[in-house]
Amino acid sequence: MVARWLLRWRVLGSLVRARGVVSWTEVKAHLRHFLRGPRLRHRSGASGTYESESRNGNPPPPVLFQMATGYWLSQAVYVAAKLGLADLLKDGPRSCGELAAAAGTDPWCLYRLMRALSMASVFVQTQHGHFALASLGKSLQSDVPGSQRAIIVTLGEIHYHAWGNLLHSIRTGSTAFTSVFKSGLFGYLQHTPEAAETFNKGMSDVASMLAYAVLLAYDFSGISSLVDVGGGHGTFLRTILQLNPEMKGTIFDLHSTIEQARQYFNGEPCGDRIAVIGGDFFHSVPEGADAYVLCGVIHDWDDDSAIQILRNCRLALNRNGRLLLVEVVMPDDDRHCFSKLLDLNMLVMTGGRERTRAEFAVLLKTAGYSLTRIIPTLAPQSVLEAIPN
């Protein structure tokens, strides 16, 4: 309490010296402005946390402090995902003691985690110290449509540590991930099976929902053969084939990834229409398809590397074939857009980048294509269609 009042009087003294404030009315106005500062404006749900605090007489901290402590919440969500708390709550509310016993945690510390995440509308605190899943938290379950559990675990582990060295990337222009893990992302995943399994599962969950957004936006009729370059476990291609029964497809990725992908096609309705091929897209890709799709691949790489991948696809395309890139297209103005943060993520993780329409056009032209059109989807990504020159 004493320290708090000392701080206030020091602030007052600074204001008087700096502004020449002489009346208590003026001092109070300046002090209120200084201590309150700007505040983030929030909508309902998880982002309504600070509004609720303000209504309850507990003012939120200044906006920059909220930004700087954003990783507190992100790591809390990660821990909930890692512990599988949403799976433990899928059948209804449970006490913290029951959850702690099932998750192997300290009951009191788990209660504090759940209480904080209830503030963020991930969980709901009910009577007698029980907790239930909030609507937002249902996506933390493992095997539900739109699950985000695996991608959040990946973000909370390898991304989190790499982002802790963002300063290195900004100072040197090199990838923070490499400076932390002593290996590039894809090399690290090849030698760290557990991290690779979570990463690939997270990418598959994202690809599943993205495929539906692409299908709603782009007409695949007329394409009889499609190669998914860098297709991972094949979730994206499998979804496309399920809704295009006359199409055949090929998943092409690193041998280590492809070996894991094969197990996903046992008993699949479209499994007999899918070929699974391992290789390196910097050397070559399977030849002779009507179309080649690269979903979230090009943004992983710098321009020279991206051009090499695109040229290899061009060499493999049928005479009247087309290239489809599924990527975020950055605005070339000062509009607020998540892609500008995603661009920093690519710098940190792979040394890649997000690109504007003009930058994609130049990239494709250099690789021997013409950009024909860009089709927005319901997701942040668009479909960029290109044909060989």
Quick check: 367 and 321 in contact, CB under 8 A?
no
Query: How many angstroms separate the Cα of 168 from the Cα of each of 117, 152, 186, 343?
Result: 32, 24, 20, 16
Whether pTM > 0.75 for this model: the answer is yes
pLDDT (0 to 100) of residue 10: 52
Do strands 381-388 and 369-376 pair parallel, antiparallel, or not at all (unpaired)? antiparallel
pLDDT (0 to 100) of residue 12: 47
The CATH topology of domain 70-144 is: Arc Repressor Mutant, subunit A (1.10.10)
Quick check: 223 and 247 in contact, CB under 8 A?
yes
- Which region among 37-41, 198-202, 224-228 has the lowest average model confidence (pLDDT)? 37-41
Q: 33 catalytic, yes or no?
A: no
End-to-end CA distance of the chain: 73
**Tokens of residue 344, six digits:** 């920093």
Band of pLDDT at residue 261, cut at 50, 70 and 90: confident
User: Any long-range contacts for 13-16 (C-beta under 8 Å, 24+ apart)?
Assistant: none
Residue among 119, 116, 95 nearest 107 (CA): 95
| DSSP-derived 3-state class of residue 311 | helix
- In this prediction, residues 164-176 reach a mean pLDDT of 96
Report the chain's mean pLDDT, rounded to a whole number: 87
Quick check: 202 and 153 in contact, CB under 8 A?
yes
pLDDT (0 to 100) of residue 30: 53
Q: How many CB atoms lie within 10 A of CB 171?
A: 8
- In terms of Cβ atoms closer than 10 Å to its own Cβ (0-12, 13-18, 19+), residue 80 is buried
Domain ranges in the chain? 70-144, 206-333+346-388
| DSSP-derived 3-state class of residue 201 | helix
Band of pLDDT at residue 45, cut at 50, 70 and 90: very low
| DSSP-derived 3-state class of residue 249 | strand
Whether pLDDT at 5 is above 50: no
pLDDT (0 to 100) of residue 42: 43
**Tokens of residue 256, six digits:** 């280590």
325 compared with 208, residue with greater pLDDT: 325
59 compared with 340, residue with greater pLDDT: 340
CATH superfamily of the 206-333+346-388 domain: Vaccinia Virus protein VP39 (3.40.50.150)
Which residue among the candidates 30, 42, 299, 336 is catalytic per the annotation? 299
pLDDT (0 to 100) of residue 41: 46
Overall residue count recorded for the chain in this entry: 389
pLDDT (0 to 100) of residue 187: 92
Residue among 124, 96, 154, 121 nearest 44 (CA): 121
Band of pLDDT at residue 258, cut at 50, 70 and 90: confident
Q: Count CA atoms within 13 Å of residue 187 on its CB side.
A: 7
Band of pLDDT at residue 33, cut at 50, 70 and 90: low
372 compared with 7, residue with greater pLDDT: 372
- DSSP states along 256-286: HHHHHHHGGGTT-TTGGGEEEEE--TTT---
pLDDT (0 to 100) of residue 112: 96
Sign of CA dihedral 43, 47, 53, 58: negative
Phi, psi of 50 (to 5 degrees): -75, -30
Q: How many CB atoms lie within 10 A of CB 335?
A: 9
- As a whole number of angstroms, the distance between CA 279 and CA 256 comes to 9
Whether pLDDT at 179 is above 90: yes
- In this prediction, residues 287-296 reach a mean pLDDT of 96
Residue among 264, 366, 389, 262 nearest 319 (CA): 389
Do strands 130-133 and 94-95 pair parallel, antiparallel, or not at all (unpaired)? antiparallel
- As a whole number of angstroms, the distance between CA 153 and CA 83 comes to 10
Band of pLDDT at residue 319, cut at 50, 70 and 90: confident
Whether pLDDT at 36 is above 80: no
Band of pLDDT at residue 382, cut at 50, 70 and 90: very high
Do strands 381-388 and 322-330 pair parallel, antiparallel, or not at all (unpaired)? antiparallel
| DSSP-derived 3-state class of residue 335 | coil
Quick check: 314 and 323 in contact, CB under 8 A?
yes
Q: For residue 62, give the DSSP letter.
A: P
18 compared with 138, residue with greater pLDDT: 138
Q: For residue 129, give the DSSP letter.
A: G
pLDDT (0 to 100) of residue 6: 43
Band of pLDDT at residue 27, cut at 50, 70 and 90: low
